[in-house]
Amino acid sequence: MVAFDHHELSLLILMSEALTAQIKQHLAAVIDPYTQQSLTANKALKSLEISDSKVVLKLRKGYPVALASETLSQLIQQALRDVVFEQRDLDIEIEQHIISHSVQQGTQAVKGIKNIIAIASGKGGVGKSTVSANLALALSRAGANVAVLDADIYGPSQPRMLGISGKPDALENKMLVPMRNMGIKIMSIGFMIEEDTPMIWRGPMVTQALEQMLRGTAWDDDGQDVDYLIIDLPPGTGDIQLTLSQKVPVTGAVIVTTPQDIALLDARKAVKMFEKVEIPIFGVIENMSVHICSKCGHQEAIFGAHGAEKMAEQYNLELLGEIPLEMGIREQADSGKPIVESAPDSDAAAIFVQVALRVAAQLSMSKQDFASKFPNIVVEKS
C-alpha cells in the first residue's frame, strides 16, 4: 500500500478535481445528435469516477439507447481523447430512463401508458400508417416498450401491416388484452370486424370506439408500462382528431407528408390544428421523398423536392427525416413484416431508426408529468 503525505494527498485531490472539471466541460460541449442539445442537458451525467488507471463515466438518457449508445460513446471518446491521460482507460456506461411527460390540460392519464405520440397527416395516401408501423418497430428495436393504437376506424390497416389476425381476449374485468407481434402491442378496430367489412358509422360512434379501444385495453397486462403508444390517426382534422385533443393525453405529434404541393397544403392544416389545441409537434417526416429504382438505384424526386424541409422552416419545426419511395418499404408493409423488421440492416430501416430516435429524443426534452406523483385528495364531511 502506497502512503502519501499531506502535501502529496492535497496535490492528488486538486489534480483529480481539475480533471473532473475539465471532463465535464468537454462533455457539456458535445451535442447530442438526437436532442440537438448538450450531451449532459437534463442532468444526464449521473456520475464520474476517476482513479489512477480508469475514468468511469455514467450517463442516463430519457430516450431508448440500445441503438444510440455506440454513436454517443464515439462522440464522448472523441471529445475526451486529449483530456483523459493515456495511462487511464475510459469506461462509458449509458442507460435509459424513459418517464412520463406533460400533456395538454384537462385530460386523464391512460393506465399503463407513459407517453402517447400521435402520427398525423393532412390527407390520405401519404404513407402515414406505413411510417407509424415502422417507427413503432424502430423504437422497440431501440430498447423501448412500444404499443400501437390504430385510430383509423374507417380504414384500419395496422393488423395487415403488422401481420396479426384474430380477435383479442378479454380479462375478467372486460378489459381487452392487446394483440402482440414482433415485440410490440397492438389494438385496432380491425381485430373486431372482417377485413372487407365497411365501418358505416357516424362521428359520435367513431370517437366512442377510439376511447373504448384506448381506455378499455389492458396495455400493462404483462406488468410493464408502455413507454410509447403510437396512435395511427386517420387523415384530416375531423372528429377523431378533435376527440384526441380534448380527451386523450397526447405528449406530442408527428406530421407525415410527401413533397407534393397538395400534400403540403393539407399538412399545414394539421400543423395549425395541433397548435390550436396546444399539442406539441415533434417535427415533420417527408415520406416518398425520392424514388429509388430497384433495378439501377437511380434516384428521382417525382413528387417534388425539399417540400417538407421548407414547411419545417416556415413553422420552426424539425425535419425528422426523409423516407424514400422504395419498393421494398411498400412490399414488406403489405406482407405484414415492415422493413424495419424484415430488413433491419437496410438503408431504409436505418432511416426509420434515426427518425424514431429523433422523435423519442425530442419527447425526452419535454416537461415531466408530475400529475401521477400527487396523491388523490378526498374531502369528506365529518
3-state SS record for 188-211: EHHHCCCCCCCCCCCHHHHHHHHH
Q: Copy the grid coordinates of residue 148.
A: 400501437
Domain 113-364: which topology? Rossmann fold (3.40.50)
pTM, full prediction:
0.89
For domain 6-96, the CATH class is alpha beta
Q: Copy the grid coordinates of residue 5.
A: 503525505
- Tell me, what's the pLDDT at 240? 84
- Tell me, what's the pLDDT at 13? 47
351 exposure class (CB count in 10 Å sphere: 0-12, 13-18, 19+): buried
Alpha-carbon span 157 to 145, nearest angstrom? 21
- Tell me, what's the pLDDT at 14? 47
Around Cβ 286, how many Cβ atoms within 10 Å?
Answer: 30
- Tell me, what's the pLDDT at 178? 96
Q: Copy the grid coordinates of residue 200.
A: 358505416
Q: Copy the grid coordinates of residue 118.
A: 400521435
Residues in the chain, total: 382
What is the radius of gyration, based on Cα positions, of the chain?
Answer: 24
- Tell me, what's the pLDDT at 72? 96
Strand locations in the chain (E): 45-50, 54-61, 89-96, 113-120, 146-150, 179-181, 184-188, 226-232, 252-257, 281-286, 291-292, 299-300, 319-322
- Mean confidence (pLDDT) of the chain: 87
Question: Per-domain residue ranges for the chain?
Answer: 6-96, 113-364
For the chain, residues with pLDDT lower than 70 are: 1-16, 85-86, 370-382
- Tell me, what's the pLDDT at 9? 42
- Tell me, what's the pLDDT at 381? 55
Alpha-carbon span 184 to 335, nearest angstrom? 17
- Tell me, what's the pLDDT at 380? 55
CB 112 within 8 A of CB 58: no
Alpha-carbon span 367 to 370, nearest angstrom? 9
Fold match between domain 6-96 and domain 113-364: no
Q: Copy the grid coordinates of residue 201.
A: 358509422
- Tell me, what's the pLDDT at 55? 87
Alpha-carbon span 338 to 196, nearest angstrom? 22
What are the tens digits of pLDDT across the range 343-356? Answer: 999 999 999 999 99
Q: Copy the grid coordinates of residue 167.
A: 380477435
- Tell me, what's the pLDDT at 15? 52
- Tell me, what's the pLDDT at 286? 93
- Tell me, what's the pLDDT at 342? 95
Best CA proximity match to 315, nearest among 247, 253, 231, 228? 253
CB 132 within 8 A of CB 148: yes
- Tell me, what's the pLDDT at 276? 87
Rounded to the nearest 5°, which phi and psi values hold at 16? -65, -40
